[in-house]
């Protein structure tokens, strides 16, 4: 999808310089940043959902366990 943005010339020039230093294009730099930004949002949503789920239940071990039991492999 193509998107048109209005950006300050100085910002674009600096972003192009950064992209060139990283061996990529300005388009790819922006695309990668937006991809990372949306994934971070997904992670935060997952963390909130897990926190809510864990707060609804009590998780207890059947311990105390001996050292051997704690390190036993199935």
Encode pLDDT of 11-40 as tens digits: 999 999 999 999 999 999 999 999 988 887
> Could you tell me if 49 and 43 are in contact, meaning their C-beta atoms sit under 8 angstroms apart?
no
Q: Residue 25's pLDDT is what?
A: 97
In-domain check, residue 69:
no
Number of domains composing the chain = 1
CA distance 15 to 35: 17
Average pLDDT over residues 3-10: 93
In-domain check, residue 50:
yes
Q: Residue 59's pLDDT is what?
A: 63
Q: Residue 60's pLDDT is what?
A: 66
In-domain check, residue 72:
no
> Could you tell me if 55 and 65 are in contact, meaning their C-beta atoms sit under 8 angstroms apart?
no
Domain that holds residue 37: 26-55
The dihedral through the CA atoms of 11, 17, 22, 28 has a sign that is positive
Average pLDDT over residues 27-54: 87
In-domain check, residue 8:
no
Q: Is the pTM for the entire model greater than 0.85?
A: no
In-domain check, residue 47:
yes
């Amino acid at each position: 999808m193509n998107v048109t943005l209005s950006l300050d010339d100085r910002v674009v020039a600096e972003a192009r310089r950064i992209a060139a230093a990283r061996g990529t294009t300005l388009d790819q730099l922006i695309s990668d940043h937006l991809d990372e930004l949306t994934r971070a949002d997904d992670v935060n949503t997952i963390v909130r959902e897990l926190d809510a789920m864990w707060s609804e239940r009590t998780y207890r071990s059947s311990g105390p366990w001996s050292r051997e039991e704690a390190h036993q492999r199935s």
